[in-house]
Amino acid sequence: MTFVDSLDTLVGATLLDNGLLINSLIGVVTMTVIGCLCALLLERAARRYQADELTIVDLINVRLPQTQCAQCGYPGCRPYAEAIKQGAPINQCPPGGEALIKNLANLLGRPILPLDTDRGETQPPRIAVIREADCIGCTLCIPACPVDAIIGAPQLMHSVIAADCTGCDLCLEPCPVDCIDMVEVQQTGVTALRLPRIDQDDLNLVEYPCIHCGLCEPACPRELAPQLLHWHRTEPEKMVDLNLSACIECRLCDRVCPSNIPLTATFQVAKETQRQLIDEASMAASAQLRFEQHTQRSLTSTTTLRARPQKGDRKALLNALRKDS
Amino acid sequence: MTDALAILLGTIFVNNFVMVQFLGLCPFMGASQKLDSAIGMAAATTFVLTLACAISYLLEHYLLQPLGLEYLRIIAFIVTIAALVQFSELVIRATQPVLHQVLGLFIPLITTNCAVLGVALLNVRQNHSLFESIFYGLGAAVGFSLMLIVFAALRERQTGADIPAPFQGAAINMITAGLLSLAFMGFTGMGA
């Protein structure tokens, strides 16, 4: 006799005949058992397959500027991302500025707050430069740098690797002789176009809005859709989807456009913007990697390496020096 | 084997769940903005639908019918299918993080997908065997995936089209879906 058969006899012979109450009781018990089994399965599965809690932190982290400047009050960008997930305010990052706050508010569904100016002001991108004549080779700035962008040895001159510097200001504090300057990075302008509007300036043609006539599409030797690219010119992601990088800037679409739109010039600007975005992303990724390695190293060998100097350390050091002399 | 083929072709084309039976319209409209997400949603639905058919068959024939609890069918199916979906989400999240990122929100959405429950209930109504139920579910899922991907491709083409302002957004999507449905009426003559 199988399990089902035995249940059948149990239900058919004794329970079902006794009326509605017992019948509905079976229903309740069955549903409870099914529910409990499902809950048990899910509970086991949740324990067996630990959910990756890091994903949301990662999403926040890639949006942070990766300067590792600690102006937010956390040791670096990733710790701040973790704190945001736990509920820390999203307006503590001066390098990211308003754009970052909007981005994070969108991502997390939180209200947009004004930047917390106690933490500092948003400044144009800068890098640290050591006045090499004044450097005494004390090595104090080297462990302070969160991305290992300062090289140097005791009693020897130090130097900043410009490509790796995130402009976090953290090296200014420990320097006993104040020989580090923050220098603004020259912004490469997107407005500087390499090519004049061909033929059209000479003829004084008037530019009209795009009428989506589609004449540019058969003209394009790379089979792109210039009218779509022009339509989405302010949306970098769409431009990537439309394969902007395949444009060879041949200007054939300019020639056929009845509205005299300088299409190629628009695409050049878009390409330049794209290039800058990619540069920024790769810079941030490298800064993050260096910061992670830096933290890892100081965690594993706290005995051989100095901990990251705190604000008061410089004063203490100077006092110690004065006492010695 | 011919049975299986007949069921598959029948559910994919003749009785297509989205276009002929109008089940699973919410993900059909919601997850078809981009081809990528449509493919992800289609894969998730195929997986869940096939599994749900097998589970609901076992539940119906080895628990509900012996106990005379057919009236609890809908609740029991919903509970088990919901648990199944949650379970598959947990497994996918842990083992296939990339797939999970693509599917993202869609997996829990399938819980409330009427196509999943609809197929399970239709299986019972049509007295399918276990083998037939699984193929019915698979066919329904493939039909759903086909429509979702075709519709997503159409919508991607639409982004470039010059649509008059009153028709933009949901309106043109409804019209497109209606035309697609009309096209699928042509398969009715195939029988099955």
pLDDT tens-digit series, residues B149-184: 999 988 888 877 888 888 888 888 899 899 988 888
Q: Which residue of A has its CA nearest to B72?
A: A27
Task: Domain of residue B128: give its range.
Answer: 2-190
Whole-number pLDDT of residue A205: 62
What single string gives the DSSP state of each residue in A84-123?
HHHT--S---TTTHHHHHHHHHHHHT-------GGG----
Collect all residues of chain B within an 8 Å Cβ-Cβ radius of residue A26: 67-69
3-state DSSP helix/strand/coil % of chain A, to nearest 5: 50, 5, 45
Ordered alpha helix ranges (H), A182-312: 200-203, 216-219, 226-231, 236-241, 252-256, 263-300
Which CATH number characterizes residue A131's domain? 3.30.70.20
pLDDT exceeds 60 at position A157: yes
- Amino acid identity for residue A175 in this structure: C
Task: Domain of residue A85: give its range.
Answer: 54-119
Instruction: Give me the residue from A34, A55, A228 closest to B160, CB to CB.
Output: A228
Q: Is A187 left (phi over 0), alpha (psi -120 to 50) or beta?
A: beta
Q: How far away is chain A from the Cα of B87, in angstroms, using its nearest Cα?
A: 6
Most confident residue range from A32-41, A207-216, B180-189:
A32-41
Within this chain, do residues A232 and A274 fall inside the same structural domain, yes or no?
A: yes
Count of domains observed in chain A:
4
Cβ contact B66–A7 (<8 Å): yes
How many Å apart are CA A38 and CA B84, to the nearest integer?
A: 8
Which CATH number characterizes residue A271's domain? 1.10.1060
Collect all residues of chain A within an 8 Å Cβ-Cβ radius of residue B62: 4
Inside any domain, residue A113? yes
Within this chain, do residues A179 and A111 fall inside the same structural domain, yes or no?
A: no
Question: Are residues A72 and A93 in contact, defined by beta-carbon separation less than 8 angstroms?
Answer: yes
Give the containing element (helix H, strand E) for A32.
helix A20-48
How many Å apart are CA B149 and CA A262, to the nearest integer?
A: 36
Within this chain, do residues A235 and A320 fall inside the same structural domain, yes or no?
A: yes
Confidence of residue A194 (pLDDT cuts 50, 70, 90): very low
Most confident residue range from A132-146, A198-212, B81-95, B109-123:
A132-146
Inside any domain, residue A195? no
Chain B interface disruption, residue of A14, A15, A28, A41, most B CBs within 10 A: A41
pLDDT exceeds 70 at position A56: yes
Within this chain, do residues A263 and A243 fall inside the same structural domain, yes or no?
A: yes
Whole-number pLDDT of residue A32: 92
Q: Which residue of B has its CA nearest to A211?
A: B162
Collect all residues of chain A within an 8 Å Cβ-Cβ radius of residue B93: 49, 51-52
Confidence of residue A261 (pLDDT cuts 50, 70, 90): confident
Give B144: exposed, middle or buried? Use CB within 10 Å, 0-12, 13-18, 19+: buried
CB pairs under 8 A between A and B: 64
Cβ contact A50–B68 (<8 Å): no
Q: How far away is chain B from the Cα of A216, in angstroms, using its nearest Cα?
A: 14
Structure letter (DSSP) for residue A124: -
Non-local (6+) Cβ contacts of B31 within 8 A are B37, B38, B40, B41, B106, B109, B148, B152
How many Å apart are CA A40 and CA A226, to the nearest integer?
A: 57
A30 touching B (Cβ < 8 Å): yes
Question: Average pLDDT for residues A61-67, to the nearest whole number?
Answer: 84
Distances (CA, A) of A263 to A100, A163, A230, A254, B177: 31, 34, 7, 6, 35
Three-class SS of residue B175?
A: helix
Count of domains observed in chain B:
1
Structure letter (DSSP) for residue A185: P
pLDDT exceeds 60 at position A12: no
Within this chain, do residues A223 and A289 fall inside the same structural domain, yes or no?
A: yes
pLDDT exceeds 60 at position B16: yes
Model pLDDT for residues A288-309, shown as the tens digit of each residue: 888 888 887 777 765 555 566 6
User: Going by DSSP bridges, is the β-strand pair A150-151/A159-160 parallel, antiparallel, or unpaired?
Assistant: antiparallel
Whole-number pLDDT of residue A9: 64
Model pLDDT for residues A89-130, shown as the tens digit of each residue: 888 888 888 888 888 887 777 888 888 878 878 878 888 889
Tokens of B64: 């509900």
Give A260: exposed, middle or buried? Use CB within 10 Å, 0-12, 13-18, 19+: middle
Instruction: Give me the residue from B64, B69, B97 closest to A52, CB to CB.
Output: B97
The strand ranges marked E within chain B are none
Inside any domain, residue A203? no
Higher per-residue confidence, A221 vs A58: A221
Chain B interface disruption, residue of A25, A49, A216, most B CBs within 10 A: A49
Inside any domain, residue A296? yes
Within this chain, do residues A7 and A26 fall inside the same structural domain, yes or no?
A: yes
Inside any domain, residue A129? yes
Collect all residues of chain B within an 8 Å Cβ-Cβ radius of residue A7: 66-67
pLDDT exceeds 50 at position B106: yes
Structure letter (DSSP) for residue A190: S
Three-class SS of residue A160?
A: strand
Q: Which of A221, A241, A220, A239 is nearest to A230 (CA)?
A: A239
Mean pLDDT of all residues in chain A?
A: 79
The number of CA neighbours under 13 Å toward the Cβ of A319 is 5
Question: Are residues B39 and B147 in contact, defined by beta-carbon separation less than 8 angstroms?
Answer: no
A7 touching B (Cβ < 8 Å): yes
Within this chain, do residues A19 and A70 fall inside the same structural domain, yes or no?
A: no
Question: Average pLDDT for residues A255-267, to the nearest whole number?
Answer: 85
Inside any domain, residue A197? no
Instruction: Give me the residue from A38, A49, A228 closest to B94, CB to CB.
Output: A49
Collect all residues of chain A within an 8 Å Cβ-Cβ radius of residue B94: 49-52
A53 touching B (Cβ < 8 Å): no
Cβ contact B95–A49 (<8 Å): yes
Whole-number pLDDT of residue A81: 86
* pTM of the entire predicted model: 0.49
Three-class SS of residue A260?
A: coil
Count of other CB atoms within 10 angstroms of residue A218: 9
C-alpha torsion sign, points B138, A42, A108, A277: negative
Model pLDDT for residues B17-70, shown as the tens digit of each residue: 888 888 888 888 877 777 877 887 888 888 888 888 998 999 999 888 888 888
Q: How far away is chain A from the Cα of B14, in angstroms, using its nearest Cα?
A: 35
Q: Of A168, A184, A200, at which residue does a domain stop? A: A184
Confidence of residue A51 (pLDDT cuts 50, 70, 90): low
Question: Average pLDDT for residues B141-148, to the nearest whole number?
Answer: 91
Within this chain, do residues A145 and A105 fall inside the same structural domain, yes or no?
A: no
How many Å apart are CA A271 and CA A265, to the nearest integer?
A: 10
pLDDT exceeds 60 at position A53: no
Whole-number pLDDT of residue A191: 45
pLDDT exceeds 70 at position B145: yes
Whole-number pLDDT of residue B142: 92
Q: Which residue of A has its CA nearest to B157?
A: A228
Cβ contact A38–B79 (<8 Å): yes
